Amino acid sequence: MAKLVELVREALEQMPPETRFRPEDEEVIARHRETLLSWTPELVQAFYDTLFAHPPTKAVFREGERPDREKTLEGWWQRTVEGPLDETYFAWMAKVGLVHVVRGVKNPMTLSMLSFVADFVENKSFKAVLPEAEPLSEAFHRLNTSVGVVITYAYDSFRAQALYEITGIEGALMDRIGQQESQAILKRLIEEGE
Ligand code: HEM
What are the structural domain ranges in the chain?
4-191
Q: What is the pLDDT of residue 2?
A: 66
Average pLDDT along the chain: 95
Q: Give nearest CA residue, ligand 1 atom 25.
A: 110
Q: Is the CB of 96 under 6 A from ligand 1?
A: yes
Q: Is the CB of 70 under 6 A from ligand 1?
A: no
Q: Give nearest CA residue, ligand 1 atom 34.
A: 100
Dihedral over alpha carbons 146, 106, 108, 158 (to 10 degrees): 40
Range 53-60 contact pairs with CB under 8 angstroms and sequence separation of 24 or more: 56/109, 57/109, 60/103, 60/104, 60/105, 60/109
Which of 62, 143, 59 minimizes the C-alpha distance to 109?
A: 59
Q: What is the pLDDT of residue 64?
A: 97
**Which ligand 1 atom minimizes the distance to the CA of 80?**
5
Structural contact between residues 93 and 150, judged by C-beta atoms closer than 8 angstroms: yes
- The string of pLDDT tens digits covering residues 161-193 is 888 899 998 888 888 988 999 999 999 999 998
Domain 4-191, CATH among 1.10.490.10, 3.40.50.720, 3.40.50.300, 2.30.40.10? 1.10.490.10
The mean pLDDT value for 22-38 works out to: 98
Instruction: For the beta carbon of residue 150, count every other beta carbon within 10 angstroms.
Output: 27
